[in-house]
Amino acid sequence: MKIVTFNYSKANGETSSRVVAVTGEPSKFVSGNDITEMDPKLVQTYFDKVNQAKLKYLQEITAINDEFNVTKFRQFLPENMTDILIAYK
């Protein structure tokens, strides 16, 4: 897991020190599984199975967050971040 520690400046000038367990980062790409060549008859079954797996994953992450009382999901603009330290655990 990627952990980022940084100072953050809001538009109103308020600053704070943050430690974030990274779950996603900015990207200019659209990411996904290319199903161009999949038989159209299988697409719905594929979507159903992927959605079931995602739901199970999200339920497990929610349970872990609850266990550790993690209640805040936030997004930070990279251009407002300074003194960035990155660690991998």
Q: Among candidates 2, 3, 18, 1, which has minimal Cα distance to 80?
A: 18
State phi, psi for 86 to the nearest 5 degrees.
-120, 135
User: For residue 89, is pLDDT > 90?
Assistant: no
| Cα–Cα distance measured from residue 66 to residue 68, given in angstroms and rounded to the nearest whole number | 5
pLDDT tens, position by position, 4-45: 999 999 999 999 999 999 999 888 898 999 999 999 999 999
pLDDT tens, position by position, 38-88: 999 999 999 999 999 999 999 999 999 999 999 999 999 999 999 999 999
